[in-house]
């Protein structure tokens, strides 16, 4: 699936990933390929991404490398998934 993470300053990531877990306001949830369409508000926590990320030098410092992927700390945001494309507007 295609993931795009946008902050007020810049696009932090844009590319193919295996899965994305996000801190929804009603609890953490994960999206895989062919997930049903969804729109949700995000709360303080980490966006957890599994896949081979090619991060730019400018955004790499915002991500935390973990054993099974990358974590991106956020304060809040929104997420939309539709037709295997995930867009996260993160603050």
Helix (H, G, I), strand (E, B) or coil at 57: helix
pLDDT in tens, 31-90: 999 999 999 999 999 999 999 888 888 888 999 999 889 999 999 999 999 999 999 999
Q: Tell me whether strands 11-16 and 2-6 are parallel, antiparallel or unpaired.
A: antiparallel
Instruction: Pick 60 or 17 by higher pLDDT.
Output: 17
pLDDT computed for residue 55 by the predictor: 87
Contacts of 80 (CB under 8 A, 6+ apart): 38, 39, 86, 87
Q: How far is CA 60 from the centre of its chain?
A: 14
Q: What is the pTM of this model?
A: 0.94
Domains annotated for the chain, with CATH where assigned, are 2-90 (2.60.15.10)
Number of neighbouring beta carbons within 10 Å of residue 62: 19
């Amino acid at each position: 699936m295609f993931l795009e993470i946008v902050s007020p300053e810049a696009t932090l990531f844009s590319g193919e990933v295996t899965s994305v877990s996000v801190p929804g306001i009603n609890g953490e949830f994960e999206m895989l390929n062919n997930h049903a369409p969804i729109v949700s508000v995000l709360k303080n926590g980490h966006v957890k991404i599994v896949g081979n990320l090619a991060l730019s030098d400018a955004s790499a410092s915002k991500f935390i490398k973990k054993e099974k992927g990358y974590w991106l700390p956020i304060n809040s945001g929104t997420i939309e998934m539709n037709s295997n494309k995930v867009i996260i507007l993160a603050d």
